[in-house]
């Protein structure tokens, strides 16, 4: 099946409507292999299939990142101990959330050994026998708690990404241990437990940075749901023609991202792509659309992407904090927080449920379009 996928070198290149290229069939053929992008690479592909080719991709000059700007790095050591230090950190968080929507944290309390173990566990999952992985292949995000697939938005996005992912709903109701792949079961439980603790601290800091009481966001159940997505970006033979992850903003309240040393993640800052350079032992934090909505644009969710590379694999783990489809809380209404509204800051968004928000975001897929516009009053 894999070899029947048209590669970029085929004669009808770019004739998207040509009779010999039926995109939907090609997507389905790829999906049916259940072997993901890793399966293509294992088959020795030297040209990437057409479904992965991004038209109008200008990864040349406009794709190269500004070298002299870096996203903020915030040291969380002592955050709960000293009042002075605490308010200094709140200030740094406020600045980062207003100006960047992205920052990195160090001394965050999760040991480096655990970060490394998580990356190793995810690598083991993706590099195990394809037949083992196939058992988890699934696209039913509404009902499944553990899913492995390639491109959650395969059938809606304009072009596919060079990436496979294992996704797990870890909170509020985690899967039974047997539901998780054995090769990374324990570490997923351990890592996500610590990620959730760190997220609690981050939501407290963000609440204070918004001028609210530390527990305000927690009390709105922003930290209740945790969706953990473990990405594997194989080395790509034609990295300039595709993307690891297309330009998008996250739909979560907050995302905590663990990335290995390979790099490739960039954020769109003042119309420039800026590299999020991996820091050993560090974690990346970014705000999602739901936080922008409840903060009434005080804090921004920022677009980002991952470049495909000819080195790899690259491994990353995104913990999305947001209510889950499966829980009763998915019908809870979220709108701009009253305390943040005034005559100068009139309400921008209507109230929505996370279920509606997520369904809308999923229907767009990753193509750089903001899901937020749809909720503007
Ligand atoms: C995401 C994402 C970045 C990465 O999963 O939403 O932006 O580095 N991931 O994998
Ligand atoms: Ni993202």
| pLDDT the model gives residue 13 | 41
Question: Counting atoms of ligand 1 from 1, which one is nearest the CA of 304?
Answer: 7
Identify the residue whose tokens are 């570490």.
Answer: 187
Where does the pLDDT of residue 324 fall: very low under 50, low under 70, confident under 90, or very high at 90 and above?
Answer: confident
Here the tokens at position 342 are 């005034």
- Strand pairing class (314-321; 265-269): unpaired
User: Which atom of ligand 1 lies at the shortest distance from residue 165's CA?
Assistant: 5
Confidence of residue 4 (pLDDT cuts 50, 70, 90): very low
> Which residues neighbour 140 within 8 Å (Cβ) at sequence distance 6 or greater?
147
DSSP 7: B
Q: Give the pLDDT confidence score for residue 5 in this predicted structure.
A: 54
Q: What is the mean pLDDT of residues 73-95?
A: 93
Q: Is the pLDDT of residue 2 over 60?
A: no
Q: pTM of the predicted model, to two decimals?
A: 0.92
The DSSP result for 49-73, as a single string, is BGGGPPTT---STTTSPPSS----E
**Residue 233 alpha carbon, nearest atom of ligand 1:** 10
- Whole-number pLDDT of residue 22: 93
pLDDT digits (tens, 9 = 90+) for 35-57: 999 999 999 999 999 999 998 65
- pLDDT confidence tier of residue 326, bands split at 50, 70 and 90: low
Q: Does pLDDT of 10 surpass 70?
A: no
Distance 89 CA to ligand 1 centre (A): 25
Instruction: Report whether pLDDT(63) > 80.
Output: no
How remote is the CA of residue 150 from the centroid of ligand 2, in Å?
A: 15
The band of 273, judged by pLDDT with boundaries at 50, 70 and 90, is very high
pLDDT in tens, 131-166: 999 999 999 988 899 999 999 999 999 999 999 999
E-strand stretches of 218-369:
226-233, 243-248, 254-259, 265-269, 272-275, 283-287, 304-307, 314-321, 333-334, 352-353
Beta strands at 226-233 and 164-171: parallel, antiparallel or unpaired:
antiparallel
Complete domains list, the chain, with CATH = 57-375 (2.60.120.330)
Please report the pLDDT score of residue 362 as a whole number.
79
Distance 366 CA to ligand 2 centre (A): 9
265 CB less than 6 Å from ligand 1? yes
Instruction: Write down the pLDDT at residue 1.
Output: 38
Ligand 1 binding pocket includes 259 (Cβ within 6 Å): yes
> 295 pLDDT exceeds 60?
yes
Q: Does residue 310 carry a pLDDT above 50?
A: yes
């Amino acid at each position: 099946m894999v070899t029947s996928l048209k590669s970029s070198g085929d004669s009808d290149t770019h004739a998207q409507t040509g009779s010999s290229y039926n995109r939907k069939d090609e997507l389905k053929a790829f999906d049916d292999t259940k072997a993901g992008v890793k399966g293509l690479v294992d088959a020795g592909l030297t040209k990437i299939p057409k479904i992965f080719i991004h038209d109008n991709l200008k990864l040349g000059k406009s794709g190269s990142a500004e070298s002299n700007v870096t996203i903020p790095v915030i040291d969380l050591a002592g955050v709960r101990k000293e009042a002075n230090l605490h308010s200094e950190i709140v200030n740094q968080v406020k600045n980062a959330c207003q100006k960047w929507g992205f920052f990195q944290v160090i001394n965050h309390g999760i040991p480096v050994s655990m970060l490394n173990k998580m990356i190793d566990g995810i690598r083991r999952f993706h590099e195990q026998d394809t037949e083992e992985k196939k058992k988890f292949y699934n696209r039913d995000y509404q009902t499944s708690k553990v899913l492995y697939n390639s491109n959650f938005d395969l059938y809606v996005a304009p072009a596919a990404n060079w990436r496979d992912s294992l996704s797990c709903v870890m909170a509020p109701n985690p899967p039974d241990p047997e539901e998780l792949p054995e090769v990374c079961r324990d570490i997923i439980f351990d890592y996500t437990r610590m990620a959730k603790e760190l997220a609690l601290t981050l939501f407290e800091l963000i609440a204070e940075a918004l001028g609210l009481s530390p527990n305000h966001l927690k009390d709105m159940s922003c930290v209740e749901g945790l969706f953990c997505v473990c990405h594997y970006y194989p080395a790509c033979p034609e990295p300039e023609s595709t993307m690891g992850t297309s330009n998008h903003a996250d739909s979560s309240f907050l995302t905590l991202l663990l990335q290995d040393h390979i790099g490739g993640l960039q954020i769109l800052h003042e119309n420039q792509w800026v590299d999020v350079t991996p820091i050993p032992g560090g974690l990346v934090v970014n705000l999602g659309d739901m936080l922008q909505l409840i903060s009434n644009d005080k804090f921004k969710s920022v677009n980002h992407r991952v470049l495909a590379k000819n080195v790899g694999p690259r491994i990353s783990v995104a913990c999305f904090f947001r209510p889950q489809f499966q829980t009763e809380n998915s019908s809870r209404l979220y709108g701009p927080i009253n305390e943040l509204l005034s005559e100068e800051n009139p309400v921008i968004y209507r109230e929505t449920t996370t279920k509606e928000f997520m369904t809308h975001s999923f229907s767009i897929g990753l193509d750089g379009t903001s899901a937020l516009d749809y909720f503007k009053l």
